[in-house]
């Protein structure tokens, strides 16, 4: 860790050691969060998710659900009926994650406008036309 250095600057951030990145890698996928939000208030079926998460394809829904299940963020319950019925439900861990995301949501909503303005200003500054 510490080398006998008196300077402050180092502050090395390792992409692999950084826990924030770990979460983000898990959550950054285009759909993961949306699915978590959609499933936040109780068990939900495949087709309901398909409708609930606007714009998601069947393929991506399946893939994302598998990943979330793999990470232990949701459980998959197959009801052996005809027609088949599968329900997905957030695990406690995922609920905690959902709660933590609220901080970000909040940030986003507070600064959404500011950021949009900043972008517009920047673009105007750099592309006169």
Partner DNA sequence: CAGCATCCAGAGCGATACTG
Partner DNA sequence: CAGTATCGCTCTGGATGCTG
Instruction: DSSP for 69-104, please give it.
Output: HHTTSEEEEEE--SS-EEEEEE-HHHHHHHHHHHHH
Binding mask 68-107 for a second copy (x = CB under 8 A): -xxxxx-------------------x--xx-xxxxxxxxx
Binding-site size for DNA (CB under 7 A) equals 22
Contact 104, 20 (CB under 8 A): no
Gap between the Cα atoms of 40 and 29, Å rounded: 18
Kindly identify the residues of this chain, within the stretch 50-89, that bind DNA according to CB under 7 A.
55-60, 62, 65-66, 76, 78, 83-86
* 61 lies in the site for a second copy, by CB under 8 A: no
CB of 117 to a second copy, least distance (A): 8
Q: Which residues bind DNA (CB under 7 A)?
A: 29-31, 45-48, 55-60, 62, 65-66, 76, 78, 83-86
């Amino acid at each position: 860790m510490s080398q006998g250095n008196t300077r402050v600057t180092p502050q090395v951030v390792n992409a692999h050691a950084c826990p924030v990145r770990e979460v983000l890698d898990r959550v950054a996928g285009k759909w993961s969060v949306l699915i978590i939000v959609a499933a936040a208030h109780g068990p939900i079926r495949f087709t309901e998710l398909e409708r609930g998460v606007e714009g998601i394809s069947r393929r991506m829904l399946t893939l994302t659900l598998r990943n979330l299940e793999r990470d232990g963020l949701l459980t998959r319950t197959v009801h052996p009926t005809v027609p088949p019925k599968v329900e997905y439900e957030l695990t406690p861990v995922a609920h905690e994650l959902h709660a933590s995301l609220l901080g970000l949501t909040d940030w986003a909503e507070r600064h959404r406008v500011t950021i949009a303005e900043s972008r517009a200003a920047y673009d105007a500054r750099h592309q006169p036309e």
